[in-house]
A = this chain, B = another copy of it.
Amino acid sequence: MTNATISAGLIKGADRRADNVHWQHMAVDKEARSLAKGQKPCCLWFTGLSGSGKSTIANVLESKLHLASHHTYLLDGDNVRHGLNRDLGFSDEDRTENIRRVAEAAKLMVDAGLIVMVSFISPFKADRRLARSLFEDGEFIEIHVDTPLDVCEDRDIKGLYKKARAGEIKQFTGIDSPYEVPENAEIVLAGAETPPEELADEVLNILRREQII
C-alpha cells in the first residue's frame, strides 16, 4: 500500500478542490493504523489458573505473529506489576483495579493498531466483563486456557501451589480463592495434553479465519 492510497482514503474533512493548496492533515486513527499495519487490532485476553500455560502460549503466539510481520504486544504481570500497577497490592479492590488498568492500557494499544495479548489469571467474571466492556464488538477475544487444577498443581513451576497449600500464600486462585470458569469465552484451549506450540497454532488459525490477520 502506498502512502498516497492511505491518505486519499483517510483524509477527514479535507477540501478536495484542486485549487486548495493547503496541506490537509489526515486523522491518524485506529482505522488508519490498522490499514498501515495490515491487521485488525484486537485484545486477546488469556485467562486461566496459575500454571495453566497462559503466558507460554501467548509468548509462542507472539513469536509466530511477529515472524508473520504482525504488530503485537504482550501485557503480563512482569511488565505491569513493576510499572503501571506498582502501587497496587492484592486486596480485592486492588486486584480489580489491577485488571481495570491492564484493560485500559490494552485498549490504548488496540487504538494504536496493535494485536495485544493480555496474560492474567483474572479469576472473576465481573472483572473480565468490565475488561470486555471497554472494547468495541469483536475486539475482545477471551481465551480460556483450560488446564485442570491438578495438572497445574503438579507442574507448580513457580512453587506457588506448594506455598498456598502450606498456608504461606493466602487467597491463591484454585486453592482458597475461586476461579470462575468463563462460560462464553471465544476460544477454549485444552492446556493439559496439547503442547503450547499447537495451542498457539489453534489461535493463529482462528485469527486467520476471523480475518484479524
Contacts and interface: CB of A to CB of B under 8 A. Distances in A.
Interface of A: 3, 6-7, 23, 25-26, 28, 32-33, 36-37, 59-60, 62-63, 66-69, 71-75, 79-80, 83-84, 87, 97, 101, 104-105, 107-109, 111-114, 134, 197
- Is chain A's binding surface mostly helix, strand, loop or mixed? helix
A37 B74 CA distance: 17
A105 B134 contact: no
A108 B84 contact: yes
Nearest to A68: B3
Given A25-B63, A112-B114, A36 B69 contact: yes
Given A3-B68, A3-B69, A28 B63 contact: yes
Contacts of A74: 28
A60 B25 contact: yes
Nearest to A62: B28
Contacts of A36: 66, 69, 71
A84 to B, nearest CB: 4
Contacts of A26: 63, 66-67
29 contacts: A3-B68, A6-B66, A7-B67, A25-B59, A25-B60, A25-B63, A26-B63, A26-B67, A28-B59, A28-B63, A28-B72, A33-B66, A36-B69, A36-B71, A71-B112, A71-B113, A73-B108, A73-B112, A79-B111, A80-B108, A83-B108, A84-B101, A84-B104, A87-B97, A101-B101, A105-B108, A109-B109, A112-B112, A112-B114
